Amino acid sequence: MLKSSTPIRSGLPPGPKGSAVRGSIREFGTTLLDFLRDTAREYGPLASFRVGPKRIFLASNPDLIDQVLVRDAKHYVKHFGARAFKPVLGNGLVTSEGAYWQRQRKLVQPAFMKARVRSYAPVMTELTETMLEAWNPGEHIDINFAFGDLTSRIALKTLFDLDDAGDRERFYETLKFAFDIMTARLSRLIKIPLWVPTPQNVRFNRARAELDQTIQGFIEAGRARGKIGDDLLSRLIFAEHEDGSRMTDRELRDEAMTLYLASHETTALTLTWTWVLLSQHPAVEKKLVAEWQHMLGGRTPTADDVTKLPYTANVIAESMRLYPPVYVIGREATKDLELGGYRVKRGYTVLMSQWVNHRDPAYFPDPDAFIPERWEDGLAKRLPKFAYYPFGGGQRICIGNAFALMEAAIILAAVGQRYRFTVDDGYEVTFKPQITLMPLGGIPATLQPR
C-alpha cells in the first residue's frame, strides 16, 4: 500500500513557536541552496514540504530522479516555476509539452548535430579574440558581466547572424529587463495579471513587444534570403516536418528566444564560476596552463583541439559539479503516482537539485573541494546516471550541451593563455539563485597578464 503524502516529513524549518510555514524560504534565516542540501541530508532521499498552498517533494536519490525524468516522464510536466516564464519564452522547447514538444524537438535537433556545432567554433574564437584585444593588463572588470557579454555576442551571431554592437546590447538588456520582472513576479504570492496596466506590467509588455519586433525582423530577413544561411535561425526557418510543413513565425520566435537564453547564460556562468575557482586554487590553474602551453603553444584553440585538452574538460566538469549553472529542476505530476513508496498526487511538484546531488559524499569524496583530478579514469561513466547531471536528463536533456561544452573549453583556453584573474580582496562567493545560479552583485577582478 502506498503511503499518503499528507503526513510525510517536512523539510521546512518551523516558524516561531512551531507556527505553520508561510512566506519565502529566506524568512527562515537560510539560503535556498542551504535549505535544499540540509533537507536532503536530514530527511533522506525523498522529503516533502509546502510553499504556500503547494506540496513540494525533493528527490535526491539518483534512482528516484531517473524514475521522474525517464521512466515516468510522460506523466510529468514542467513545474510552475518554469511555466511562469512563458510570457517571455513563449511555447519553445523549455516550456512546451507533449506531442507538440516532441514534434518541435525533432525539427530543431539537426541544428545541433556534431558537424553543425563544430562549424560555430570559428565564431567563438573570433569574438573571444575581439574581446581580448579590447582588454588591458591591470584593467578592473566584472567577470560575470564580461563573460555574459561575450557569450551573448556569440549566441546572437550564431543564432541570428547579428553583428551590430548596438543592436546586440539593446536585445540583451531588453531581455534581461523582462526576465528580472518575471523572476520578481514568481516570488509573489499574489500575481496581478499582465494585462492589468500597472506601471511594471506596462514596462514589461513594452519590453516583450520590442523583443518580438526584433526577432520578427530576423525571421523576415531570413525568409527573404530564400535559402539556408549559416545562422541557426535560418536553418529553423527552412526546416520541414515529415508532412512538409514548416514552423510558423510564432513558433520560430519562441524557439529563437529559448535557444538564445539557453545558449548563452549557462555557458557564461560556467566560465564565471570556473575562473572564481581557479583564482582560489593556483595549483589547479598552473596545471591547466601547462596543458594549454603544451597542446596549443599560445594559439587560439579550434574545435579539433577541444578533444585534446582532457584536463580542461575535467576542470569544466568539476566547476559544473560545484556550481551547476542550473541548480534545480522540477516536474509536476499530471496524475496520481508512486515515488519512493509515497503517493505523489496530481498537481504536486517534485524538485531535483543538481546542487544537492553534485555534493553527495557517497559519490564525490570531499564533496566541497575543487578537485578536477577526480574526473580521471572514467568517473563520469561509473557514476549513476543522475548523480551528476548539469544538463538535466531524460528526453528533455539540454539540446545544446555539446555547443556549451565546446564553447566553454575554447573560451577558457583562449582567455587563460593571455590572462589570469585576481579577484578583489575580501570578495566572498554569494549566490542569487534564480532559474540559474547567478552571483549576487557581480565578481570584481583585475586582469593579470601571463
So what's the pLDDT on residue 2?
42
> What average pLDDT does range 355-369 have in this prediction?
97
239 domain-assigned? yes
Which pLDDT belongs to residue 320? 97
Mean pLDDT in residue range 82-95: 82
Greatest C-alpha distance within the chain: 69
The Cα–Cα gap between 430 and 239 comes to: 43
> Which of 38-47, 118-127, 253-262, 406-415 comes out lowest in average pLDDT?
253-262
> Which of 15-19, 24-28, 105-109 is least confident?
15-19
Residue 83 pLDDT exceeds 90: no
Range from 107-121, 369-383, 406-420 carrying the lowest mean pLDDT: 107-121
Residue 441 lies in a domain: yes
Confidence of residue 301 (pLDDT cuts 50, 70, 90): very high
Q: What is the pLDDT of residues 245-295, one digit of tens each?
A: 889 999 999 998 888 877 788 999 999 999 999 999 999 999 999 999 999
More confidently predicted of 302 and 182: 302
pLDDT at position 21 is 31
Instruction: Name the more confident of 19 and 275.
Output: 275
Helix, coil or strand: residue 337:
strand
In a domain, 3, yes or no: no
- Which pTM was predicted? 0.88
Residue 264's pLDDT is: 83
Domain that holds residue 300: 16-449
Model confidence at 450, in pLDDT bands (50, 70, 90)? confident
Phi, psi of 178 (to 5 degrees): -65, -40
Q: Residue 42: pLDDT above 70?
A: yes
Q: Given a cut of 50, is residue 10 above it in pLDDT? A: no
CA distance 94 to 101: 9
Measured distance CA(414)–CA(412) in Å, rounded: 6
Percent of the chain beyond pLDDT 70?
91
CA distance 348 to 336: 9
pLDDT-based confidence at 201, cuts 50/70/90?
confident
Given a cut of 80, whether residue 82 has pLDDT beyond it is no
Kindly state whether residue 1 falls inside one of the protein's structural domains.
Answer: no
Residue 389 pLDDT more than 50?
yes
- % of the chain residues with pLDDT over 90: 50
Q: What are phi and psi of 346, to 5 degrees?
A: -55, 130
Cα–Cα distance measured from residue 137 to residue 142, given in angstroms and rounded to the nearest whole number: 14
How high is the pLDDT of residue 15? 29
**24, pLDDT greater than 60:** no
Q: Which of 16-25, 204-213, 382-391 has the highest mean pLDDT?
A: 382-391
- Residue 415 domain-assigned (yes or no): yes
Give the CA dihedral 202, 207, 210, 215, nearest 10 degrees.
-140
Higher pLDDT, 81 or 362: 362
DSSP assignment of 317-383: HHHHHHS-SS--EEEEESS-EEETTEEE-TT-EEEE-HHHHTT-TTTSSSTTS--GGGGTTSHHHHS
pLDDT band at 225 (very low <50, low <70, confident <90, very high): confident
pLDDT tens sequence across 57-80: 999 999 999 999 999 999 999 887
The answer to whether residue 8 sits within a structural domain is no
* Cβ proximity of 108 and 399 under 8 Å: yes
pLDDT at 164: 67
Residue 189: predicted pLDDT: 64
In angstroms, the CA 222 to CA 225 distance is: 5
The mean per-residue pLDDT over the stretch 426-443 comes to 84
- How many other CB atoms sit within 10 Å of the CB of residue 32? 17
Mean pLDDT of the chain: 86
The answer to whether position 11 is within a domain reads no
**AA identity, residue 140:** H
pLDDT of 310 above 90? yes
Helix (H, G, I), strand (E, B) or coil at 48: strand
Q: How many domains in the chain?
A: 1
Helix boundaries (H) for 53-195: 62-66, 80-83, 86-89, 98-108, 114-118, 121-134, 143-160, 165-186
pLDDT value for 315: 98
Q: Which segment of 214-228, 322-336, 413-427 scores lowest on mean pLDDT? A: 214-228
Query: What is the model's pLDDT at position 416?
Result: 96
38-43 LR contacts (CB < 8 Å, sep 24+): 38/11, 39/11, 39/12, 40/353, 40/356, 42/11, 43/9, 43/11
pLDDT for 140-159, tens place per residue?
999 999 999 999 899 988 88
The more confidently predicted of residues 259 and 136 is 136
Is 60 exceeded by the pLDDT of residue 228? yes
Is the pLDDT at 231 greater than 90? The verdict is no
pLDDT at 113 over 90: no
72 located within any domain:
yes
CATH code where residue 221 lies: 1.10.630.10
Would you say 358 and 381 are in contact if contact means Cβ atoms under 8 Å apart? no
Task: Look at the alpha carbons of 138, 140, 141, 142 in this order and tell me if their dihedral is positive or negative.
Answer: positive
The confidence score (pLDDT) of residue 31 equals 79
The alpha-helical segments, DSSP class H, found in 369-436 are 379-382, 401-416
